[in-house]
Amino acid sequence: MLKKILAISGKPGLYKLISFGKNMIIVEGLADKKRFAAHSRDKIISLGDIAIYTTGDDVPLADVLESVSKKFEGKEVNAADYKEPEQLAAFMASVLPEYDQERVYKTDIKKLISWYNILVKAGITTFVEPEETKAEGEAAAE
């Protein structure tokens, strides 16, 4: 689900992958629906490739977003409630208790809240693929 949602360094917001071109990709802003070309020199990362540091194994971003969605019942998070470092730490501990407090910075938590809100506004509320879909996709690949 999150594989086609992209973050582009230096550009605010999140983008949906539309098409591939020569040395570029065509993306569409989730918030404004405007399309533009992102070039190979831009630092682009898929949300499906991001994980959050924990004291054990890293947790995929999709699982963390799913946890946030359950905690807030699929509604947006009021970012104004989480301005202070202690509030951000409490938020993160409530959605991922075993997160690594040394390696997960407050700016990362702010970005998590921002991305979650952008996804919810865009109508994306399911972050983890159902198990049946994963199994069917893996069987088709073989």
> What is the DSSP pairing of strand 35-39 with strand 51-52?
unpaired
Per-residue model confidence (pLDDT) at position 28? 96
Measure the CA–CA gap between 113 and 61, rounded to whole angstroms: 12
Please, which residues bridge with residue 36 across strands?
A: 27
Cβ-contact 80, 38 below 8 angstroms: no
Per-residue model confidence (pLDDT) at position 40? 82
Selection from 88, 47, 87 nearest residue 65 by Cα: 47
Structure tokens at 75: 């509604």
Per-residue model confidence (pLDDT) at position 140? 45
For the chain, the maximum distance between any two Cα atoms, rounded to a whole number of angstroms, is 49
**Digits of tens for pLDDT over the chain (142 positions)?**
789 999 999 899 999 999 998 889 999 999 999 999 999 889 999 999 999 999 999 999 999 999 999 999 999 999 999 999 999 999 999 999 999 999 999 999 999 999 999 999 999 888 887 764 444 444 444 4
